[in-house]
Amino acid sequence: MTSISIIGTGRAAAFHAAAALLAEHVELEGVVGRHLGKASELAAQAEVPELTLEQALGKSEAVVVAVPPADTPSVLAAVAGRVSAVLVETPSGSSTPDLDALADTALPPTMAAANLLHAPITRRALQEIASMDSPFHFALRSHGPRPDWGDHGTPRFGGGAVIDPGCRIMPLLLAALGAPVVSVCAELPADSERIDVRASLELRTDNLLHRDITVDITWGDDSPSTSLEVASDDTVVQLELAPPPTLEVNGETVMIADSDDPYTELGFKAQIERLGAMARGDAAPWPDFSLAPGLIDIATAAAFSSSHQGISVSPGSGYPQRSVWSLLGGA
């Protein structure tokens, strides 16, 4: 059994705690909050102790870091050299330089949280996409209500739709593309608080066959849905992740074994099990933590593009290195 602790008390931390209780070969040791007493409600729900960070690091072989993005670098610095594996919620860090500074620390194998990549239906969809002959059309769409937990959906969180759910669902698109994003053109309509309520992105990769890559995310629809569509000349793969998840290939439904709970169905359980295997030396991080700054780079490039009439911007270069929170949050 691999002992793990959850650092964080929000919605993501609750999902990870529930998944840890279901996961095989994993034992949940406790939950850590920013201040003693902060994690008491989640700890009670999970029926585990509330721990200080020092206690958690002394008892755990692996940790889940599910804190506000701006706090991620300091927490990672604290756990470096103390555990055998780490899972980090995305988006992570207030800027790419903050995360790059961690390169000099003794971080153990570290995985970016992307639960949808671990979902059985997504794994099957990615297999179907990998077998396609020269796919050229990729469309990621997400619609749902404005997030209302913690600082999400407010200027304090530092960004709107392009950050949440953008950075949570974009790993689906990146996995399907299998090639690095080299340019972003974007339109991010904002509200009176300068929070983007919609994110419309056009991406390019270094694969010239990828002629049509779009991301369309909106807040305001009370019926949440997320979909990924990939097409070639003779095949269309359609993945729908609104409950219940469905997968179609050329209009034919692909049957996936039924899951007994949403934590299994949406990949949270398998993700925690991989974290345990990482701590035991039986698995490598997937996706690697390098995904986290990559997502921030795409979001920042989108913000810069939108503020400059939708010009094409290369993620991570070609524009002033300003924090995505400054670009989107009005700081």
Question: What single letter denotes the amino acid at residue 267?
Answer: G
Specify the range with the lowest mean pLDDT, choosing from 39-48, 123-132, 150-159, 220-229: 150-159
Token pair, residue 249, equals 């290939």
Q: What are the pLDDT digits (tens) for 164-195?
A: 899 999 999 999 999 999 999 999 999 888 89
DSSP per-residue string spanning 51-104? E-HHHHHHH-SEEEE-S-GGGHHHHHHHHTTT-SEEEE-SS-SSSHHHHHGGGG
Please determine, for residue 325, whether its predicted confidence score (pLDDT) is greater than 50: no
* Enclosing H/E stretch for 22: helix 11-22
Assigned superfamily of 117-259+291-329: Dihydrodipicolinate Reductase; domain 2 (3.30.360.10)
* Fold classification of 2-115+275-279 (topology level): Rossmann fold (3.40.50)
Q: What are the pLDDT digits (tens) for 35-88?
A: 878 889 999 999 999 999 999 999 999 999 999 877 888 899 999 999 999 999
Q: Where are the domains of the chain?
A: 2-115+275-279, 117-259+291-329
Tokens 């989108």 correspond to 302
pTM: 0.89
Q: Share the mean pLDDT of the chain.
A: 89
Residue 131, judged by CB atoms within 10 A of its CB (0-12, 13-18, 19+), counts as: exposed
Token pair, residue 12, equals 């993501």
* Enclosing H/E stretch for 4: strand 2-7
